[in-house]
């Protein structure tokens, strides 16, 4: 229930075309509910099950996701579970970020009159989906927006190649790969995209892109 309420507060604090809109939260017969916009289309996971995306389509989707992340990060909200399952592609080509249930919101208040509330987990807890976790997330260390950018890099790699950036037969194998290995760069044909993915997937947060807006700038440079 706490995660459900956190998702409502986190997403409800945002207003961006690439983030699922939440219109209301309430309780009916002691059962909590959310009212969201109705989406028609498929998840990115379903789309990738049919193979990798074209370079142009991958750049388009990546830019939209980065735009949604930039909006969330500007509000102090770190998603912490960016993966193809939580990205929805509508029939008209919009990408929507779903599921803020693991989000870490440093300061989200629903109104100016309501006290600021802090949400998050204690240091040492591991939250998220193993194959898309940042190294600091896998180690249970504190995370900030740069953790989302690592997960974003994993998704971009998968869109471009059709394969996961990090693979393993168990969670331990996945964590080992994330902490010690790099995905095959030759699988990405476009050198500029190869550099963007590599920059997202730096093991150290200090070596990565520092904001989603930086990624948008880099993607725009390719399209121009």
Which pLDDT score is estimated for 162?
A: 96
Strands (E) in the chain, as ranges, are 22-28, 31-36, 41-43, 77-78, 87-90, 95-97, 104-105
Query: Does 99 qualify as catalytic in the annotation?
Result: no
Q: Which of 81, 85, 99, 220 is catalytic?
A: 81
CA–CA dist 58, 39 (Å, integer):
20
Predicted local confidence at residue 105, as pLDDT: 58
The set of residues, in sequence order, having a beta carbon less than 8 Å from that of 138 and lying 6+ positions away, is 126, 130, 175, 178, 179
Give φ, ψ of 105 to 5 degrees: -110, 115
- pLDDT score of 38: 95
**Predicted local confidence at residue 71, as pLDDT:** 94
List the beta bridge partners of residue 35.
24
* pLDDT for position 25: 82
pTM, full prediction: 0.86
Residue 4's pLDDT is what? 74
Residues of the chain below pLDDT 50: 106-126
């Amino acid at each position: 229930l706490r995660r459900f309420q956190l998702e409502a507060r986190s997403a409800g604090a945002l207003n961006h075309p690439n983030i699922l809109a939440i219109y209301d939260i309430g309780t009916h017969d002691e059962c909590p509910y959310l009212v969201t916009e109705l989406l028609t289309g498929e998840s990115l996971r379903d789309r990738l099950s049919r193979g990798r995306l074209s370079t142009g389509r991958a750049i388009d989707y990546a830019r939209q996701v980065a735009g949604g992340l930039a909006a969330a990060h500007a509000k102090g909200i770190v998603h912490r579970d960016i993966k193809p399952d939580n990205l929805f592609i509508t029939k008209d080509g919009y990408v929507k970020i779903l599921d803020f249930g693991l989000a870490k919101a440093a300061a989200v208040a629903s109104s100016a009159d309501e006290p600021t509330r802090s949400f998050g987990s204690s240091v040492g807890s591991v939250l998220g989906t193993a194959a898309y976790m940042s190294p600091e997330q896998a180690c249970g260390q504190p995370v900030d927006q740069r953790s989302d950018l690592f997960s974003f890099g994993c998704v971009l790699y998968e869109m471009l190649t059709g394969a996961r950036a990090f693979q393993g037969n168990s969670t331990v194998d996945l964590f080992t790969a994330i902490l010690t290995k790099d995905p095959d760069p030759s699988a990405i044909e476009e050198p500029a995209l190869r550099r963007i993915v590599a920059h997202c997937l730096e093991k150290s947060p200090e070596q990565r892109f520092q904001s989603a807006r930086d990624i948008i700038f880099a993607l725009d440079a390719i399209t121009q």
